[in-house]
Amino acid sequence: MSRIVVIGSGVAGLIAAVEASEEHEVILVTKADLAESNTHYAQGGIAAVSSDDDTVAEHVADTLVAGAGLCWEPAVEVLCKKGRKRINDLVKFGVNFDRHDGDFARGLEAAHSHARILHAGGDATGAITSDALVAAVRRTATEIREYTFVAEIVVEDNRVTGVQVLDADGMHFLSADAVILASGGAGQLYRHTTNPAVTTGDGVAAAFRAGAVLADVEFYQFHPTALAVPSSFLISEAVRGEGAVLVDAHGERFMHKIHPLAELAPRDVVARGIQQTMMNQGGQPVLLDATALGSSYLAERFPSITKACRSYGLNWGSEPIPVTPAAHYWMGGIATDTFGRTSIPGLFAVGEVACTGAHGANRLASNSLLESVVFAHRAVKALSKPWPEDAPSVRWADAGRVAELELVEPDHTSSAQVVDRVELQTLMWDSVGLARTKTDLDDALSQLHSWRPADPAHRLFPDWEDANLLLLARTVTEAALARAESRGGHFRLDYPETNPACARPITLVRKASSC
């Protein structure tokens, strides 16, 4: 029996822990409460083919179109083909998807050719899925370590041997035969994000320091419609799928002038359309008008959003609500193959922490939870297989398609100013956000180089998070500079067109470690 350390308690980590515990000794590590993750806040649902009028081929095609020419097709095929089986797994775990006439209720979201989004509790899919899987984890023999921070991934003789973790009793080493990273994304890189406070990219940063290859990190997806309030509460894509429209300060629709699919265009298109409209009206938010759906229907179909609106004194059944883009999902991450294997033997990555290539430059709505379930399952299956001798994925190994960047890590021993998180988030939002230019990126990189992380010997949880955010901010900025085109979630004002010659991933590797 092998000893497996699973890091993270979103849907990917929970699935991995439950399934791995059937044959292995499993330790599940999470830096907060077991139920706290991006998964818990997901509203829209899970995309999967589950009706006779839909096909896997059409789901694949929709994913490839949204991915803007950068999807890795083998990963897309796996993602879409395995969807129905993994949905059945979730049902067995106790996820009660909404039903209509005895069958799954299916919603429509942007850039999907069919209504294939399965949801639970109306707009509480993430919370219901998380709750069911948390209960499943607690029923297993899995050892659970909450409020435990993974500081470093330990590699000896080119293979993972465990992790260094920090808890209330100090730093400890947990040995492992394999590590499954499922620690989520890095929404806290940006001033406005729909992600919870725990999303500081810790797994990606630790893997990078350990020598893992990163890919596509310049592609950050900004959700078009977050409620324009301090918490940036997410307003699900499904609302527009049900018929809500976007209007400017004068009450006029604008998305139909930008894209044939109007409000249901790919997320990057809608987000930039909103941004431009906001700039045209002095920075004021645009409005999401769902009044045609009626208060009763909105309360039934979207109870969580209705409750959130009321908490801010908004009645979205009778008046449009203010919305703005916010950082939502990272398409980039740790490069993996279709079994979650990274460039370091013994290290797996699944969920948002990973870059399988399935999302390309722009994730198709509601493919994220599906990716977590599908690839977590495959990673567990691969635990008992020999590690391949060659690179884990031909996508990253094909030198004809890969441009490598070498990145030197920030040096904590310098006399530079210790990084301030709010300043970093503001810099990233202003200069490395929805629209980028070489000048802004150069200036941002210069500023990032003027900051340093705190001394590791005296770091608390927030200090480790800040160090990780600083490292990842530099990776995103470096990659954004290297991609001299606009594609998907990466938009350059100085290179507004997509360049077919740039239809390849950009990978980053560690050059030196000094912290």
Asked whether 441 and 480 are in contact (CB, 8 A), the reply is yes
430 to 190, 288, 351, 434: CA distances (angstroms): 9, 24, 27, 9
C-beta of residue 141 within 8 angstroms of C-beta of residue 21: yes
At residue 396, does pLDDT exceed 70? no
DSSP string spanning 80-133? HHTHHHHHHHHHHHT----EETTEE-EE--TT-SS--EE-STTT-HHHHHHHHH
Alpha-carbon distances, residue 62 vs 75, 76, 465 (angstroms): 14, 10, 36
Instruction: Say what the pLDDT of residue 140 is.
Output: 85
Tell me which of 86, 106, 191, 267 is the catalytic residue.
267
What is d(CA 443, CA 450) in angstroms, rounded to the nearest whole number? Answer: 11
Tell me: pLDDT of 397 over 80. Answer: no
**Separation between Cα atoms, residue 340 and residue 347, nearest integer Å:** 8
pLDDT tens column, 421-462: 999 999 999 999 999 999 999 999 999 999 999 998 889 999
- CATH of span 228-326: 3.90.700.10
Name the residue ranges covered by the structural domains of the chain: 3-184+329-382, 228-326, 402-512
Average pLDDT, integer, range 131-158: 92
Q: How many CB atoms lie within 10 A of CB 73?
A: 15
The alpha helices in 224-343, defined as continuous H runs, are 237-241, 267-280, 295-301, 303-311
Token match 């725990």: residue? 198
Separation between Cα atoms, residue 130 and residue 255, nearest integer Å: 34
Q: Is 50 helix (H, G, I), strand (E, B) or coil?
A: coil
Structure tokens at 453: 């992380």
pLDDT of residue 1: 74
Q: For this structure, is 267 an active site residue?
A: yes
Longest distance between any two alpha carbons in the chain, whole Å:
66
| Structure confidence at residue 391 (pLDDT) | 57
- Nearest C-alpha neighbor of 215 from the set 206, 204, 203, 223: 204
In DSSP terms, 226 is beta-bridged to 234, 324
For residue 512, the model assigns a pLDDT of 57
CATH of domain 402-512: 1.20.58.100
Is 3-184+329-382 a CATH 3.50.50.60 domain? yes
Token pair recorded at residue 161: 């041997």
Whether the predicted pLDDT of 513 surpasses 60: no
Percent of the chain past pLDDT 70, that is, above it, reads 95
Tell the residue number behind the tokens 């500079």, with chain if given: 481
Q: Which of 49-53, 138-142, 484-488 has the lowest mean pLDDT?
A: 138-142
